[in-house]
Amino acid sequence: MDALSGGQVLPGGVLEVRTHNRKGRSLYTTRLVKGGETVLDEAPLLLLVAPETAQSTCIACLRAVRPQECIECSVCRQACFCSATCQQTAQGTPWLHSQPLCSAYARLAMFGLPPEQQSQLRFLLHALALRHAGTAEAGELGAGPQPLGKTPIGRHNQEKGQRRFAALSCLVGEATEAERAVAARLAPLLVEALRDLQGVGGSLPIPWDVEELARLLRKEQLNSYGVLAAPYQYQHHHHHHHHGGTAAPGPGCSGEGGNGQTAPKSSCGAGCSGGGSGGEAGDGERRLRGSALYAQASLINHECLPNVARFDDFDSDLPDRTHVTFRALHDLPPGTELAQSYVPLHWDLAERQAQCREVYGFACTCPRCQTESRWSDDDDDDEGEESEWETDSGGGNMEADGEDRGAPAAGGGEAAAMPGDGGVEIEMQEAQAGRPTSQQAGKQPALQRTKGEEARGPFGVEAFGEL
Ligand SMILES: C[S@@+](CC[C@H](N)C(=O)[O-])C[C@H]1O[C@@H](n2cnc3c(N)ncnc32)[C@H](O)[C@@H]1O
């Protein structure tokens, strides 16, 4: 095991955080875990509704609701609630659907942006609201209950916002040129969306530094989990009005592969062009109702043969329905590194490699990839047989291969920043493919990280307590 020992133990005592010399932080079992056992159960830091399903997804809890049963926000008409309780919660929570966010949503809708940009802007707005909640006074973006300016934000929400923003800041991810470009384009729109609020409270923290926006976008890309839509959400979507730009369903990507695997969000953002490789529904439409960010779950690294699976339960009536849980797929001895797959399990080697590199910024060197890359070598020797590495693109350029398949492009530059893996065949492919793609990095799904840039202590967060 090439990890330092003696890490920070997570609540529950089953897992600890340690630093892996190549992958960054990682979660390890502290004791024997039996197959099927829950190893992680955690509330989200932030839930975001996909603009395409905004009429049928509760903005407070991400529950899917048939449009006719939703309570639409009568002010912005861009958000809905599954119940009066969620409506109250959302309107009274600075980072959910407080008055300032509601008004920003209304403005955003007038821009007629494609869904990807709308999602990115919404994410930034929510992150901004979280950040500001910690210091907000009545009437400011972070402020809570309506009417605007009348009710000071509760101390409870202030502290909660502060903790959550701190946890968000601790997620892995540093801006690449791709995110900087996106952030530079989005920043003026963000200012415009918040225009009505300028002067309210007098201290709106905008415009944000483009670098900070870019970093947040990258963190979101590397760490967010896609939440699949209920099937009827997209049927209805076709028959309902679209807000600017959403009429053309983006070539999309997909959720987590048809296998319900535990991959981080694999939907596509602006960068996803071309028909999606996995996860896409075949009609090219995104099948996600939204996405979620978690402090602890975002510490699970990728392997192409996972040992844990993710479960969510957003549509239940349980009080904990927004929690994510991970369960062991088989017995895990003490000291086992948790591994989830960020990509659909049925993808072939080249597809998996491309996704890991282009979306998450690392070259996967897991045992499955090593084994399969040896198969490919064997194939090379077989006359007339197409090798795995050479599929479609001739010459084994995996990145080109990935683009052909419409794999999302993002932050390709980061791969180069990952330390060498030493001695794995895959590296040769890496060397050929080291350019960032020309596609803009949109918000893609996903989890991933670069190293140790975070400011707050060895594992970022001081404590993984209640957020
Ligand atoms: C969701 S984060 C996982 C936790 C991360 N290691 C951290 O320190 O926060 C995803 C990032 O972890 C790293 N990572 C995950 N799986 C990896 C792997 N198999 N090999 C190398 N790096 C990996 C990559 O930097 C990736 O962008």
For 250-267, what is each residue's pLDDT tens digit? 222 333 333 333 334 443
Determine the residue of 424, 447, 456 to mutate for testing ligand 1's pocket, defined as the one with the most ligand atoms within 8 A of the Cβ atom: 447
pLDDT (tens digit, 9 = 90+) per residue, 214-242?
999 999 999 999 999 998 887 644 444 33
Domain ranges of the chain: 45-135+158-233+286-293
What is the end-to-end Cα distance of the chain in Å, rounded? 31
List all residues 6 or more positions away from 434 whose beta carbon is below 8 Å from its beta carbon.
412, 415, 416
pLDDT (tens digit, 9 = 90+) per residue, 131-155?
888 776 544 555 544 444 444 567 8
Which DSSP state fits 244? T
CA count, 13 A, side-chain hemisphere, 286 = 34
pLDDT (tens digit, 9 = 90+) per residue, 11-48?
999 999 999 999 999 999 999 999 999 999 999 999 99
Q: Is the CB of 25 under 6 A from ligand 1?
A: yes
The pLDDT score that the predictor gives to residue 143 is 52
* For range 200-208, the mean pLDDT: 51
The pLDDT score that the predictor gives to residue 375 is 86
Question: Residue 350 is encoded by which pair of tokens?
Answer: 């080249």
Residue 441 pLDDT more than 90? Answer: no
pLDDT (tens digit, 9 = 90+) per residue, 68-120?
899 999 999 999 999 999 999 999 999 999 999 999 999 999 999 999 999 99
Q: Is the CB of 299 under 6 A from ligand 1?
A: yes
268 vs 5 pLDDT, higher one: 5
Percentage of residues in the chain having pLDDT higher than 90: 55
* For range 164-176, the mean pLDDT: 96
276 C-alpha vs ligand 1 centroid, how far in Å? Answer: 23
Q: Is the CB of 439 under 6 A from ligand 1?
A: no
Give the 3-state secondary structure of residue 302.
strand
Determine the residue of 10, 171, 449 to mutate for testing ligand 1's pocket, defined as the one with the most ligand atoms within 8 A of the Cβ atom: 449
Candidates 252, 245, 302, 24; CA nearest to 121 is 245
- b/e map 71-106, b = 16+ CB within 10 Å: bebeebbbbbbbbeebbebbbbbbbbbbbbbbbbbb
Q: Is the CB of 24 under 6 A from ligand 1?
A: yes
Residue 398 pLDDT more than 70? Answer: no
Are the C-beta atoms of residues 408 and 353 closer than 8 Å to each other?
Answer: no
- Of the pLDDT bands very low, low, confident and very high (cuts 50, 70, 90), residue 380 is low
Are the C-beta atoms of residues 116 and 38 closer than 8 Å to each other?
Answer: no
Closest residue to atom 15 of ligand 1, CA basis: 301
- Looking at 14-28, 188-202, 382-396, which range is the least confident one? 382-396
The pLDDT score that the predictor gives to residue 458 is 38
Query: Cα(395)–Cα(429) distance, rounded to whole angstroms?
Result: 10
Candidates 45, 277, 307, 350; CA nearest to 171 is 45
Candidates 265, 263, 365; CA nearest to 309 is 263
Q: Is the CB of 23 under 6 A from ligand 1?
A: yes
281 vs 184 pLDDT, higher one: 184
Are the C-beta atoms of residues 157 and 93 closer than 8 Å to each other?
Answer: yes
280 vs 399 pLDDT, higher one: 280
The DSSP result for 251-282, as a single string, is P---SSTTTT--PPP----TT--SS-STT--S
Residue 361 pLDDT more than 60? Answer: yes
Question: Phi and psi at residue 387, in whole multiples of 5°?
Answer: -80, 155
Give kind and range of the element (H or E) at residue 221: helix 210-223
Q: Is the CB of 448 under 6 A from ligand 1?
A: yes
276 vs 362 pLDDT, higher one: 362
> Which is it for the CA torsion 366, 448, 408, 416, positive or negative?
negative
Closest residue to atom 26 of ligand 1, CA basis: 448
What letter represents residue 382's amino acid? D
The DSSP result for 315-340, as a single string, is TS--TTTT-EEEEESS-B-TTPBPEE
Residue 197 pLDDT more than 60? Answer: yes
Q: Is the CB of 172 under 6 A from ligand 1?
A: yes
pLDDT (tens digit, 9 = 90+) per residue, 316-330?
999 999 999 999 999
> Which is it for the CA torsion 459, 170, 293, 421, positive or negative?
negative
Q: What is the signed CA dihedral for 275, 23, 437, 426, rounded to 10 degrees?
A: -80
In the numeric block, the tokens 């080291």 are attached to: 434
List all residues 6 or more positions away from 373 whose beta carbon is below 8 Å from its beta carbon.
349, 388, 389, 424, 425, 426
301 C-alpha vs ligand 1 centroid, how far in Å? Answer: 5
Residue 348 pLDDT more than 80? Answer: yes
Q: Is the CB of 450 under 6 A from ligand 1?
A: yes
* For range 268-286, the mean pLDDT: 39
252 C-alpha vs ligand 1 centroid, how far in Å? Answer: 24
Query: Cα(355)–Cα(294) distance, rounded to whole angstroms?
Result: 21
**Mean residue pLDDT across the chain:** 74
The pLDDT score that the predictor gives to residue 429 is 36
Query: Cα(250)–Cα(274) distance, rounded to whole angstroms?
Result: 9
Query: Cα(272)–Cα(137) distance, rounded to whole angstroms?
Result: 39
